[in-house]
Structure 1
């Protein structure tokens, strides 16, 4: 996990507060290209090695640069970590795009059932996102935004999967149920090494959604 050290100390990770002596990127096009290249390399490292022991020194080694360069483009290790997790989530979110092509007459349960394989395949590659939720549990003040961002990624799409005639409150309640089960399944799959594509809890969720849709 990111350590709190002095970024002006070249012998350390440079993972703490920024120094006022550091130059800051001002948003030039050339700088944006460089920033994205650095982020791509750090994201690849995070995807391969996870979040445990993440530090600015490790990120700099993965990006082939120095911690001072990273501090020029990012607001410290927490910002860099958040950006890497965000990028992984954007890639994972591609698994949800298939729902846009499903017939609008399909039930919510069937739409989620049809979308599930895409999510399962995405999670096989981006298991590290589950670790991000562990950071939220470890320090909700420092890492709480990682959990909130995760919910926002799915919320709009899941709302769109709900029947159009439902009240907004009802949609939100059902979406929160789906997200809660999804988070639990991800954790269970990592801890117990159980397959996501045939999880009993997912089948129970589908039955619950079918019962919900049967209500007036």
Structure 2
């Protein structure tokens, strides 16, 4: 017998797949439920509301920055983890899920009542774990926050450019320059 938590996790996984294909702008629970072979009532039972479901799907689909940067203890490891993030969002397992994040971020300015909070959470959820990594490497808090924001927002923007233009070479070159600059530790931190 399937446990409720297993059923919920399976539904969430399938919701993420659905959103990758159909988008979020016009997401309605009834067509989503029909596509997933369940009912709107069951989606509400497991997730509470459309917005709560969407928030969880976005959280489940974004890269796990804490995991990607776990164990980083020097500038070389930081650069390697940043390159792994770039690979994940452009060619790896995050290539399709990152599109959900792009949709949410593009909807937040025009529909803030529905998407601003979840968009802000998605950005913060990727930046904050990286701030901690920079601080652990000896970068002062304000600079750590700036570098984490630069790295995450810069790579996300380059990934979007790559998707829109198809110019993979330019995006790849720009990502490498961005990563090199953002992961070069200041002298005081590098001496640690």
When normalised by structure 1's length, the TM-score is 0.68
CA contact (8 A) 2:14 2:36 kept: yes
Q: Among 36, 47, 50, which residue is 1:63 paired with? A: 36
The structure with more radius of gyration? 1
User: 2:60 matched to 1:87?
Assistant: yes
Distance in 1 separating the partners of 2:167 and 2:109: 22
Q: d(CA) in 2 for partners of 1:57 and 1:209?
A: 44
- Deviation of 1:122 (Å): 3.3
Whole-angstrom distance in 2 between the partners of 1:70 and 1:210: 42
> Residues 149-196 of structure 1: CA distance to partner in whole angstroms, max 9, x if unpaired?
222332243224426222111111111122221232132122212328
1:157 matched to 2:102: no
Q: Is the 8 A contact 1:108 1:209 kept in 2?
A: no
Q: How does 1:39-50 map to 2 (within 5 A)?
A: 39-50=12-23
Unaligned stretches of 5+ in structure 1? 1-28
Say if 1:116 and 1:197, in contact at 8 Å, map to a contact too. Answer: no
Using the size of structure 2 for normalisation, the TM-score is: 0.75
The alpha carbon displacement at 1:116 in A equals 2.9
Contact 1:186 1:196 in 2 (8 A): no
Q: How many residues align?
A: 185
- Separation of aligned partners in 2, 1:97 and 1:197: 28
Higher normalized helix content (fraction of residues): 2
Matches within 5 A, 1:97-108: 97-102=67-72, 104=74, 106=76, 108=78
